[in-house]
Homo-oligomer: A and B are copies of this chain.
Amino acid sequence: MNLSLTEENYLKALFFISGSEGNLVNTNAVAERMETKPATVTDMLRKLKKKELIEYQPYKGSRLNKEGRLYAIQILRKHRLWETFLVDKLGFGWEEVHDIAEQLEHVRSPKLTQRLASFLGNPQFDPHGDPIPDESGAFPIREELTLDRSVEGEVVIVKGVKDSSPEFLNYIAKLGIKLGDSLNVLSVEPFDGSILLVHNRQEFRLSAQASTNLYISRA
C-alpha cells in the first residue's frame, strides 16, 4: 500500500485522536487536528475507507481498522526513531526536533528504518520519553508515574514528558532538565502542590502543573 503524504497524515491524526481504545472519531476533531475543513475530511475518509484502512459510516464517525492502525504505528515508529537520531547523534535539543521528524517520518524504506533503529541501539523510548513501537507495532510498557506523585525525600529519574508542546519543552530545557537526570524531592508544598527540588546541586521550585507533566521512575 503506497499512500500519499496527506493520506499518511490523516492516518496519524486518527491514531492520535482515537487513543489506545480505538474510539470512533468525529469528523470535526480530525478537521481541527489537520487544520483543514470538515468537508475536506469527509472526502478523505471516503477515500481511506475505499482503501480499506479505516471503518467509516457517514454521520457516525470513523476509526482505523487493523491495517490502518499498523500503518499509523509504523509512521509513529519512524518519527520517534528520527527524533532519537536528531537528539542523540546530531545534538539537537529535544524541543527542536519535532518538525524535522515530521518530514523524515514519511521516508519510505523498511530497510532504512530497521538499520536506523539498530544504529541507535534499538531504543525503546524517544528523547521525550515516548515509547517507540517495534516492527510488529507493539509498544514497550512504561510506568506512568509523574513527578507530582513523588513523596518528600525521594530521589527520582526523569523518564519523559507527558506534555510535549514546545512551550513546556522550552521551559524544561531552560531549567536544564534532561532525560535521565535525577531530581531530589525536598518537599511538596501543601498549599499549591508545588515541589521544591535539587537538580545538579541547584535548588528550585517547580509548579504542580509542571510536575504532573514529568514522567519519572524511582531511583
Chain A residues close to B by CB (< 8 Å): 86, 89-92, 96, 99-100, 103-104, 106-109, 111-112, 115-116, 119
Contacts and interface: CB of A to CB of B under 8 A. Distances in A.
A49 to B, nearest CB: 27
B90 A116 contact: yes
Contact of A100 (B89, B91, B112): B112
Contact of A115 (B92, B99, B112): B92
B109 A107 contact: no
A119 B103 contact: no
A98 to B, nearest CB: 11
A119 B86 CA distance: 11
20 contacts: A86-B112, A89-B119, A90-B112, A90-B115, A90-B116, A90-B119, A91-B115, A92-B111, A92-B115, A96-B111, A99-B109, A100-B107, A100-B109, A100-B112, A103-B106, A103-B107, A103-B108, A103-B109, A104-B104, A104-B107
A7 to B, nearest CB: 15
A119 B100 CA distance: 17
A86 to B, nearest CB: 7
Contacts of A92: 111, 115
A107 B108 CA distance: 13
A6 B180 CA distance: 43
Given A86-B112, A103-B107, A104-B107, 9 more contacts: A89-B119, A90-B115, A90-B116, A90-B119, A92-B115, A100-B107, A100-B109, A100-B112, A103-B109
A115 B86 CA distance: 9
A106 B5 CA distance: 13
Contacts of A100: 107, 109, 112
A87 to B, nearest CB: 11
A120 to B, nearest CB: 10
